[in-house]
Amino acid sequence: MDVNSAFLSWEAVYRLEHLGGTLDLRTIPSAVGGDMAKRHGIILAKSPAAKKYGVRTGESIVEAKRKCPELLLVPPHYGLYERASGALMELLKEYSPQVEPFSIDEAFLDMTGAEALFGEPVEAGNALKDRIRRELGFTVNIGISTNKMLAKMASDFEKPDKVHTLFPEEIEEKMWPMPVRELFLVGQATEKKLAQLGIRTIGQLARTDVGLLHAHLKKHGEVIWEFANGHDVSLVEAEPQDNKGYGNSTTIAFDVTDAQTAKHVLLALSETVAARLRKHGKKAELISVEIKGNDLQTVSHQTLLPAPSDITYEIHQAACRLFDELWDESPIRLLGVRAGRLGDGEARQLNIFDRTDYEKLERLDAALDYIRKRHGQDAVMRASFLDSPIDHMSGGISREKRTVDYTKEKIE
């Protein structure tokens, strides 16, 4: 199940149903786009009418406006998207206990044995998509098959508001003629390598010797060969797998050219990463830092901590050391902090040469977590952020994207 133009659709429905609007954004050239002044100037979702002008998700707002000067842009509203997604997932659970969210606007359902309740697969799919449109106000595509990969491929066929099947016996007719870039897990780099081998369609990939693919693409070549032949043994998993790491990054609204400001940003990122670790009862042994310059080139560096930790101070200190080793003093556009090699909180090995009071730092973090949980994340912050343009809890979805002041928006 895949929501059609999810962010734009959810915004359109909200304006029509809750703000008294009469103009359906889905019927005109429109898009959800970030704020260029804050370096988030890309298209996040576009309407079918905008797509006809060649507007693409992920391209810059400047490029999109060049293609379609009358393009209507609306700001992102992630708080709304999370509520809409939550309502959708709850509805899906009425059809199957095995619902696996694949992203905020996609999910897999295992409906094995549900024919007696909901009818044959296509009948059930049509009933589900029609109910979503009727009750929630937006449209979805539904793909049906015997495994997740084929169902995912089917959901990407003709849109919007459609149900498609892609059963094994339909692969040769429906999937093999498609460009290889349409295959799940084939990105631009893989497409380029396959083109060098003369492979341009999914069918050509399926008929290629898997040994040749392994020689050029290693394990990934074997995976996409299996997919091209319709093979996928992964199960629909209602329970999410444990995180393998916790990370946050932030695009900064100005070029950072001094180490002090950069380390201030790293403190804000360390704050949110460490808080997430503590929330899930995890400690990290590996810390990495990512730097993206204003030339869009990215570099990263990592280190192991002396002991697994969820302490903000310790993670920040490690991030600063990594930054000093990594930064070449060129202007910085984005910074990121990631924690990996997770454990469940093993006891710390004492070191007579380390005078740091880790118990005191843990009590401090616990107090901050409690206050923020009870009174909001802005109830307490480090003094260095009081007059700073840097958000003291940076990373992930920035707060200006979580809500929209509709009094400043023209609702038609």
Q: Residue 185 domain-assigned?
A: yes
Element (H, E) at 130: helix 121-136
Domain that includes residue 200, residue range: 175-228
User: Whole-angstrom distance between the N-terminal and C-terminal Cα of the chain?
Assistant: 30
Q: Residue 332 domain-assigned?
A: yes
Q: Compute the distance between CA of residue 147 and CA of residue 144 in angstroms, rounded to an integer.
A: 8
Q: Which of 16, 50, 79 is the last residue of a domain?
A: 79
pLDDT of residue 398: 64
Weakest-pLDDT range from 215-219, 237-241, 256-260: 237-241
pLDDT of residue 7: 95
Same domain, 277 and 375: yes
Q: Which of 62, 79, 96 is the last residue of a domain?
A: 79
Distances (CA, A) of 351 to 68, 126, 348, 355, 357: 63, 64, 9, 8, 11
Same domain, 9 and 41: yes
Same domain, 221 and 272: no
Q: Residue 115 domain-assigned?
A: no
Q: Which of 183, 385, 163 is nearest to 271 (CA)?
A: 385
Same domain, 331 and 361: yes
Amino acid identity of 337?
V
| Contacts of 249 by beta carbon, 8 Å cutoff, 6+ apart | 269, 290, 334, 335, 336, 337, 395
Residues annotated as part of the active site: 106
Q: Compute the distance between CA of residue 367 and CA of residue 396 in angstroms, rounded to an integer.
A: 23
pTM equals 0.79
Does pLDDT of 35 surpass 80? no
Same domain, 377 and 265: yes
Q: Compute the distance between CA of residue 190 and CA of residue 48 in angstroms, rounded to an integer.
A: 28
Per-position b or e across 47-65, b if 16+ CB within 10 A of its CB: bbbbbebebebebebeebb
Q: In CATH, what number is assigned to the domain containing residue 179?
A: 1.10.150.20
Same domain, 254 and 354: yes
Q: How many domains does the chain have?
A: 3
Same domain, 336 and 223: no
Q: Which of 55, 79, 103 is the last residue of a domain?
A: 79
- Helix axes 78-92 and 6-18, enclosed angle (nearest 10): 100
Q: In CATH, what number is assigned to the domain containing residue 31?
A: 3.40.1170.60
pLDDT of residue 58: 85
Q: Reduced to 3 states, what is the DSSP secondary structure of residue 249?
A: strand
pLDDT of residue 84: 95
Same domain, 68 and 188: no
Task: Give me the DSSP letters along 38-104.
Answer: GT--BEEEE-HHHHTTT--TTSBHHHHHHH-TTPEEE---HHHHHHHHHHHHHHHTTT-S-EEEEET
Q: Residue 110 domain-assigned?
A: no
Q: pLDDT of 67-123, one tens digit each?
A: 999 999 999 999 999 999 999 999 999 999 999 999 999 999 999 999 999 999 999
Same domain, 222 and 291: no
Q: In CATH, what number is assigned to the domain containing residue 334?
A: 3.30.1490.100
- Where residue 241 falls among pLDDT bands split at 50, 70, 90? confident
Q: Residue 374 domain-assigned?
A: yes
Task: Give me the DSSP letters along 348-385.
Answer: PPP-TT----HHHHHHHHHHHHHHHHHH-TTSS--GGG
Q: Which residue has the higher pLDDT, 213 or 356?
A: 213
Q: Residue 107 domain-assigned?
A: no
Same domain, 269 and 366: yes
Q: pLDDT of 217-229, one tens digit each?
A: 999 999 999 999 9
Q: Residue 105 domain-assigned?
A: no
Does pLDDT of 147 surpass 80? yes
Percentage above 70 pLDDT, the chain:
95
Same domain, 252 and 390: yes
Q: Residue 140 domain-assigned?
A: no
Same domain, 220 and 251: no
